[in-house]
Amino acid sequence: MARFFKHLIWRLEVMAYDILRLLMRPFSLEQVSRLAGWLVGFIGPKTSKHHIAKTNMKLAFPDADAAQIETWLKESWNRMGRTFGEFPLLGRIKVFDKNSNVEVVGLEILEKLKHDKKGAVLISGHFANWELMAAVFSQAKLPVRVTYRPTNNPYFDKRIRAQRKAYGIDLMVPKSGPKGAKELIQALRMGDSVALLNDQKFNEGIEIPFFGHGAMTAPGPTRLAMQTGAPLIPMSIVRTGGANFRVTIHKEIKLVDTGKRTKDIHATVLKITGFIEDQIRANPTDWFWVHRRWPKDMYKREV
pLDDT above 80: residue 180: no
In a domain, 123, yes or no: yes
Give percent above pLDDT 70 in the chain: 95
Average pLDDT of span 7-16 = 85
pLDDT above 70: residue 82: yes
* Predicted local confidence at residue 3, as pLDDT: 78
User: Crossing angle, helix 131-139 and helix 107-116, to 10 degrees?
Assistant: 50
pLDDT above 60: residue 269: yes
* Rounded Cα distance, 134 and 122, in Å: 10
In a domain, 52, yes or no: yes
Amino acid at 176: S
In a domain, 131, yes or no: yes
* Rounded Cα distance, 10 and 132, in Å: 27
Average pLDDT of span 192-203 = 94
* Predicted local confidence at residue 10, as pLDDT: 85
In a domain, 302, yes or no: no
* Predicted local confidence at residue 195, as pLDDT: 93
* Cβ 95 vs Cβ 104: under 8 Å: yes
In a domain, 114, yes or no: yes
* Predicted local confidence at residue 149, as pLDDT: 76
* Rounded Cα distance, 148 and 137, in Å: 16
pLDDT above 70: residue 244: yes
* Predicted local confidence at residue 79, as pLDDT: 98
- pTM, whole model, 2 decimals? 0.91
- Minimum mean pLDDT range among 1-15, 135-149, 167-181, 258-272: 167-181
* Cβ 258 vs Cβ 45: under 8 Å: no
128-179 pLDDT tens trace: 999 999 999 999 999 998 877 777 888 878 888 887 777 777 656 666 566 6
Average pLDDT of span 263-269 = 98
Q: What is the DSSP letter of 284?
A: G
CA dist 279 → 51, 162, 258, 282 (Å) = 22, 30, 28, 5
pLDDT above 60: residue 96: yes
Mean pLDDT, the chain, rounded, equals 91
Which one is predicted more confidently, 219 or 4? 219
CA dist 296 → 55, 199, 270 (Å) = 11, 16, 22
Average pLDDT of span 6-18 = 84
| Domain boundaries, position 218 | 2-291
Q: Count up the domains in the chain and report the number.
A: 1
- Minimum mean pLDDT range among 45-54, 62-71, 159-168: 159-168
In a domain, 41, yes or no: yes
Amino acid at 246: R
In a domain, 301, yes or no: no
